[in-house]
Amino acid sequence: MKITMSRRAALGLGGAAVAAMVVGAPRGAFAKNDHADLIKAFTGGKEPTKGKVKLDVPDIAENGNTVPLTFSVDSPMTADSYVKDVLIVADGNPRGGIATFHFTPSSGAAEASTRIRLAETQNVIAIAKMNDGALFIDSKPVKVTIGGCGG
């Protein structure tokens, strides 16, 4: 028995299947923020110490689509003592990861500036990992008034 179907009918069935998956999915299944998992993987479960990291983001972001972010880490950046990595996460975006920056003693300074997207009012967190395994953290709340990842 041969079954024939028009393209329109096939597309309609495909759309209905996707809608059924979305409706049947647990609440928040497509928007789970994984910032805690990212931090745990980055730190190996160790608790970072407050200090050495200076995170500069605005208190209020009038447009969540383009939020300026600058960080710096107090380190001599010598072969004996330097910043290896800096993880930036946000706890309110659909996905928590913003960026990971990698440094060497040749970098001269552990600092960077960029622009990020924030879906809503939330905390931005910066964690620095030193070459000896020491971890340092800073976090700032940012109030987003319009725009952002989510609309």
- Asked whether the beta carbons of 137 and 50 are under 8 A apart, the reply is yes
* pLDDT recorded at residue 1: 62
Q: Which of 67, 31, 53 is nearest to 143 (CA)?
A: 67
Q: How many CB atoms lie within 10 A of CB 90?
A: 27
CATH classification number, 31-144, choose in 2.30.30.830, 3.30.565.10, 2.60.40.2470, 2.60.120.1030? 2.60.40.2470
Residue-wise pLDDT for 80-99, tens only, equals 999 999 999 999 999 999 99
Residue type present at position 85 = D
How do the residues of the chain divide into helix, strand and coil, expressed in percent and rounded to 5? 20, 35, 45
Residue-wise pLDDT for 122-145, tens only, equals 999 999 999 999 999 999 999 999
- Asked whether the beta carbons of 74 and 115 are under 8 A apart, the reply is no
Residue-wise pLDDT for 39-82, tens only, equals 999 999 999 999 999 999 999 999 999 999 999 999 999 999 99
At 62, list the tokens: 């009038």
Domain ranges of the chain: 31-144
At 15, list the tokens: 């759309």
φ/ψ of 42, rounded to 5, equals -70, -40
Is the pLDDT at 22 greater than 60, yes or no? no
* pLDDT recorded at residue 146: 77
Instruction: Please give the residue that has the higher pLDDT: either 150 or 73.
Output: 73
Cα(23)–Cα(21) distance, integer angstroms: 6
φ/ψ of 64, rounded to 5, equals -70, -15
Residue 27: pLDDT band (50, 70, 90) is very low
Instruction: Please give the residue that has the higher pLDDT: either 29 or 93.
Output: 93
DSSP assignment, residue 34?
-
